[in-house]
Amino acid sequence: MTRRKYRRRRKKYRINFKKFVPFILILILIIFLLSRIIAFIKSPKKKKDDSLSYLTASEISAEDKVKDLDYLASIVKNSYIKYDFVDIEKRKVFEEKLSYYKNNSQNLNDIQFRAAISEILASLGDEDLKLLSKNDMEYFKSNNFKDSMWEKTLNNTSVENAMKDIPQISKKNSTNKNINSEIVAKEVSNGILYIRPSEFYKENINSDLEVLKPFYNKISSYKGIIIDISNRGGRDYKYFYDVFLKPLSSNDLYAFLRLAKRNEFFSSFGNDFNKIHKEFYSIKEEFRIGEIPQEVNIDNSIREKFKSYYRLDMNSKNNPASRFNGEIYLVQNDLTEGACDLFAFLSKSSGFASLVGSKSKGGLYTDVMPQGIIILPESKYPVGVPFVVCLGEKGAFTQDGTIPQIEMKIDSNAAYINTLTDIINSN
């Protein structure tokens, strides 16, 4: 009897765990979710990588990419100034890459499409024929392109929208190479001034004139000036106009350049160029093929490639305040390029200075002459296309360099400075 009561008592206090199973499972789930939420809140947030913000899904359709590439090919083949002179093998690679990316346009997102355009253009081996970056566009905008064909392109809202998510290139990789190079000015002998200017960028004009001011204030005491532009470049003609021609020209200077284009691409070029450069340059005449004056010595193989020709006059009025009547020697070498090459060419042509050293590298045809800027019709990406060329001595591209009047070895030990000093002292 006692045993039965005990059993009944045990049965009375037995817990039925089956009833609590759903509640336990719910509790476990709640704990799990809370732990995940807490972990998420405490986890370090990843910083947004602005440099990769443009890596988005493609917004340009495959068909539109093909249209852009067809348009680009047409411009390059018909208006790019050097296409007919590019090595045949490079042109073959250009065609192959163009065909490949047209056939694979559906596999490219927008950033890959930009990379493809750059690769296609790079195959022709001209660093100035390129897809323009934000830095390039800002540089062009910094020039006085008011009321010109360039202004219309640079201020195009569609272009700005197309480029808004493209990252800025760091300064060290920007268009203006060595922009912060320093000027050197010193007296190397009694009555002889040596100047090694900065790279020819307008950003350097004021600071360099400040360095030269104490020397220019006593310019009449010098019998000779050596201006050393060996290993120098840059892209702004205004630099040498403000730093050298205006302060030192005791006589009016005149010279002219010969320009040529392949077709009517940028037909307003002559008028627009005059608006921008009226203080120094002016395009006085325009000729068509067959009307080019006989004194222009252009080889027929080059002549037949161009459809229009311009004569670009350079005028620099004398500075009444300049009291310098000595000799100027301009030193160049095979690394002198861009605006420095233009300075060498015009100095030689106008008689401003005697050109010394070795043949320059050249590069005038795009570093100083403005690029054409085309807009791809669908993507609205801007592309820089050199469309006008300067014809130098004997009708050659000034890209091929300017020939000095005095051949001289220009080396690192600066022996040429002593040689020129001796020449000036002996005169």
Distance CA 178, CA 171 (A): 10
- Give the containing element (helix H, strand E) for 285: strand 281-288
Count how many Cα atoms sit within 13 Å of the Cα of residue 420 in the half-sphere of its side chain.
30
Q: For residue range 172-212, list pLDDT tens digits in order.
A: 334 444 555 789 999 998 899 999 999 998 889 999 999 99
Does residue 7 carry a pLDDT above 60?
Answer: no
> Count of residues for the chain?
427
Is the separation of the CB atoms in 273 and 344 below 8 Å?
Answer: no
Ranges assigned E (strand) in 73-223: 130-131, 184-189, 192-196
Handedness of CA 378, 382, 73, 144 (dihedral sign): positive
Does residue 64 carry a pLDDT above 80?
Answer: yes
Q: How many CB atoms lie within 10 A of CB 368?
A: 22
Distance CA 150, CA 158 (A): 15
Taking alpha carbons only, the member of 296, 312, 218, 325 closest to residue 256 is 312
Type of residue found at 153? T
Type of residue found at 413? N
User: What is the SS3 string spanning 333-398?
Assistant: CCCCECHHHHHHHHHHHHCCCEEEECCCCECHHHHCCCCEEEECCCCCCEEEECCEEEECHHHCEH
Which residue, chain included where needed, has tokens 């070029």? 269
Q: What is the mean pLDDT of residues 226-250?
A: 88
pLDDT of residue 176: 44
User: Structural domains in the chain?
Assistant: 184-371+385-426 (3.90.226.10)
Distance CA 316, CA 314 (A): 7
pLDDT of residue 15: 56
Q: What is the mean pLDDT of the chain?
A: 78
pTM across the whole model = 0.68
